[in-house]
Amino acid sequence: MTRTQDAAALLPEDFLESVRRLTAQEGAVGGPSGSEWAAGLPRLLADVLDDWGLTVAGPACTGYSSVVLPVLREGARLALKLGWPHVEARDEALALRLWDGRGAVRLVAADPHRSVLLLEALDSSRTLGELDVDTACEVTGELLRELHVPAPPQVGRLSEHVRRHATAVVGAGSVLPRRMAERTAGLLDDLLSDPSCDATLLHGDLHHENVLHTLPGSDRPQWLAIDPHAVAGHPGWEVQALLRNRRDELGTGSAFRYLVLRRVEVTCDAAGIDEDEALAWSYVHTAIQAGWAAKGQDSDEVTFDIALLKALDG
């Protein structure tokens, strides 16, 4: 077998099949479609293993648009991440380099042009899902406190993202009930007029599955963030990701509202985020996601988002 064929055998077919369905419009501007990237992935993997002197040491783990392989380099355990180029991952290497292991996985090497990262190894089998929700939210908040540093000028702006996607939920034909659409529009005016709304480097997707435990015997902090969707924005934007995890633990009726607000309270207290600001940003964040769900004809998701908006409205 050739080295490319050897590399192809390391890549899960179900991951490749999923990535092939991604369109160029969903990816980085000027980047490949998912099908094009998947076709070249075995060759890319073989080249990177050779270029960086790596040996694969176990089966791959996969996400929505990336694959991570445990590797060895001169006996040291590391993780090799190859990702389909898309907007949300564009500044991942920049953010990890700026954080330098504080609150997040440590970046060892990066080749942004090939969308490849070499990272410290973490225990992918252990996420915050193993902790009770309050503790998981507290840990996440503590990580956010470390990650929230001044944003570098080259990172994308949250305000631009919000303006671009909010029109579907505040204009005519909104999927939201009229009162919710009007509240979203009012909050947008207030939040986006704040000159500090793009001042902080955000993780952008710090839910319970994006926090991993360190390896046994490590001298690093016990829990570290992975997979940032780095953006310059307001810290309050981060909280909403924690309201979408572990939905079966949110209950129904009055319990649902109480437990949603409890997660906000615990996270904000640990992160040092103003709770009222987090509620406002979470409301806007949820409204935008309702618009995406409606566009994708996901009625169950729209229903959940509307329930979440009711809970966040205090």
Residue numbers annotated as active site: 205
Query: Taking the CA of residue 115 as centre, how many other CA atoms within 13 Å lie in the half-sphere pointing to its CB?
Result: 23
Report DSSP letters for 142-190, one per residue.
HHHHHH--BPPTTSPBHHHHHHHHHHHHHSTT-SS-HHHHHHHHHHHHH
Contacts (Cβ under 8 Å, ≥6 apart) of 106: 96, 100, 119, 120, 220
Contacts by residues 71-77 (CB-CB < 8 Å, ≥ 24 positions apart): 71/118, 73/118, 77/121, 77/215
- For the record, the structure tokens of 86 come out as 């898309």
User: How many angstroms from the chain centroid is the CA of residue 109?
Assistant: 20
**C-alpha gyration radius of the chain:** 20
**Structural contact between residues 156 and 90, judged by C-beta atoms closer than 8 angstroms:** yes
Q: Can you tell me the distance from the alpha carbon of 46 to that of 75, in angstroms, rounded to the nearest whole number?
A: 19
What is the distance between the alpha carbons of residues 62 and 128, in angstroms, rounded to a whole number? Answer: 18
Is the distance from CB of 116 to CB of 165 less than 8 angstroms?
no
**Helix/strand number for the chain, H first, E second:** 10, 11
